[in-house]
Amino acid sequence: MSTVGPWRPESSPKSTGARRRPIFRRDPGAPDEVTLESPIVRSRLLSRVRVAEGVVILMVMLLLFGFWRLQVVHAAHYRELADNNRHRNIIVRAPRGLITDRNDLLLAANRAAFNVAIVREELDDRDATLEWLAGVLGVTPDMLRERLDRRKQGIPVFQPVVIAGDIDAALVAAIEARSLEYPGVLIQPEHKRHYPKGRVAAHVMGYVGEINAAQLASWEQGRYRMGDIVGKLGLERVHEGRLSGFAGDEEIIVDSVGRTVRVLNQIPPEPGNTLTLTLDLLLQQQAEALLEGKKGAIVMLDVNTGGVLALASAPTFDPNMFARRFSQAEWNAVTNDLARPLQNRALQSAYPPGSIFKLMMAVAGLENGIITPETTVTCTGGGTYYRQYRSCNAVHGKVSLESAIGRSCNVYFYELGAKLSRQQIIEVAQRFGLGARTGIDLLNEGTGILPTDEWVSQAPPPRDGNWYPGETIGLSIGQGPIDTTPLQLAQMAATLATGVRITPHLVETVENAAGREIEMAPRNQPVDINLSPYHRAAILSGMRAATHPVTGTARRAANPDYDFGGKTGTAQVASAAAAGPEGDRPEELRNHAWFVGIAPVDAPEIAIVVFIEHGGSGGVAAAPLAGLLMTAYFESREAAQQ
């Protein structure tokens, strides 16, 4: 048997005694006695073997230690990551509920859109991916980084984070085409809010936007996430809980590049509820058309239910702008517009009511026994009260309450104001809802101003808690420290029409996605204001006289086919002595124009208010618009009955 190793002559059975050369040559100059079997060589070889063995043992120990850390210490963490590499949980946002008018015509709906989302754990190179996406989307990489960092709060790394919404279809194709090159980038379909009528009823609808950190912290926990779209204004905000629905969830298996292989579990989203409004779209459209190019508001109420048939504010805005991503320039254009298009003048802005307030003076005079419907006053064109001469709009001669309302005689109400106390006047105004919010289901409603005892005591200098008798004379024609909103005056007119104060409301019913009515919108109970039917009839008779085709100040609102009643108002902004004739003044110093009306007078169904900011005379600027809208209401009703 042969051996492998250095050759020894004595070990060979066929040795002839001749000396053979060794297999390995020694180095030149090395001593002849140094061989591979020498102690020096063996020692060196053993040392090297031991070092190699130590290195191998150390490497094995390190590997074992690493396996121990992976499989024991961090087992749960890496098990979760491993599962998430195979599984992905996708939040499926619910479509918002629809909003329709009283005739089921759509006012707010949804449309298909596409979002770009990032799954952070699947990114090969975050910076390179964001650089590429920024170029495709036409934004800066820093903008995408900021969105990703802001929206990822509370979202696990394996769940998508939306960084761009509602992108063009062409961009969807461009991103999908390079999905293998840039893993972790997803296209997510979504329902986007859409207002099919554009600007119509914008102040009623409001608009939607991305949830902010404060809302996320204070709203229902677990229901919302960063990036969710929620109501910001109008009915969208007030009824957010009903409209938003509940998100669904999909658990899927994906391959190495993120493509869906199989759906493991699916919880479908629960769509938001549908709101059916009291609003009549056709009346709303006509009201807004009448306000085109003006600043002002129109409100029409159903006097028996408080349902809002029309609520228009001008100028207005397009809520679709907020449903998509818009530029800073677009936002600045809206918010810096001096015409304040986002301001709902129907319920947020308060103005002196002018001669509209004479209706409250009439109630105060009748209820306190100062006058009767037959009481007369002789108007000579003006009079002196507390050493100050106050003029009327004409010389009316002998007028009763009916003709004083119909012809808006200042002198009649000056005389009444001289006999009534401020407290008596304010008590009646409060019974009719002035000086307080009506309770409509919209946010940011104004209260207006009434000179109550509390207001007088807290008013700043130079008043110092004093009220002067001459101020009551101004109050009697709706001037001085008194402001009302158009909605308040609409409620007041409806209360006069029926004797019962109702709460204006916009939402009639709420239905789930299956079309089943789940609730009536909550609303306050009507309040009987204890107004004598005899006194109420006398005031309504005066409102009918105002639409007399010859003598009435509201004659431009009249329609011979229908029984309209009304009252005009011209609220002074600046005195003629200070600002000159009305026609020569700059717009901001011109008077405000008012009209309030009811119809039919004998059996009222509707109440209407038209307000034109700096519009001049109420009889000229406001009354004709009201007449057109009231006519449209009755013609529409008659057409529906045929």
Q: Distance between CA 288 and CA 297 in Å, rounded?
A: 9
CA distance readout (Å), 543 to 444, 458, 592, 598: 31, 36, 20, 8
**Half-sphere exposure for 166 (CA within 13 Å, toward CB):** 18
As a whole number of angstroms, the distance between CA 224 and CA 388 comes to 63
Residue type, 427: E
Residue type, 587: E
Which residue, among 372, 370, 357, has the nearest Cα to 416 in the 3D structure? 370
Name the β-bridge partners of 188.
115
The tokens describing 160, both together, are 């998508």
What residues contact 567, with CB distance under 8 A and at least 6 apart?
Answer: 355, 356, 358, 359, 405, 408, 542, 543, 546, 553, 554, 595, 596, 597
Beta pairing class for 229-233 and 388-391: unpaired
Q: How far is CA 387 from CA 252, 417, 473, 484, in A?
A: 86, 15, 12, 29
Could you give the residue ranges of the DSSP H alpha helices within 260-396?
A: 281-290, 320-323, 328-335, 358-367
3-state DSSP: the chain helix, strand, coil percent, rounded to 5? 40, 20, 40
Residue with tokens 């101020």: 471
* Mode of pairing for the β-strands spanning 274-277 and 99-100: parallel
Q: How far is CA 69 from CA 56, 60, 111, 341, in A?
A: 20, 14, 51, 63
Q: Residue 517: CB partners within 8 Å, gap ≥ 6?
A: 509, 510, 511
Question: Does the annotation count 355 as an active-site position?
Answer: yes
Distance CA 628, CA 605 (A): 16
Q: Which of 313, 355, 400, 403 is catalytic?
A: 355
Give just the sign of the alpha carbon dihedral 129, 133, 135, 140.
negative
User: HSE-up of 24 (CA within 13 Å, CB side)?
Assistant: 9
What are the C-alpha distances in Å from 332 to residues 53, 295, 337, 340, 497? 74, 20, 8, 12, 44
Burial class (CB in 10 A: 0-12, 13-18, 19+), 579: middle
CA atoms within a 13 Å half-sphere pointing along the CA-CB vector of 413: 32
The CA-to-CA distance between both ends of the chain, in Å, stands at 123
Helix, coil or strand: residue 58:
helix
Least Cα distance to 563 among 544, 583, 538 occurs for: 544
Residue 196: CB atoms within 10 Å: 12
569: which 2 tokens?
């108002």
DSSP assignment of 367-389: HTTS--TT--EEESSEEEETTEE
131, 156 contact by CB (below 8 A)? no
Which residues have a catalytic role annotated?
A: 355
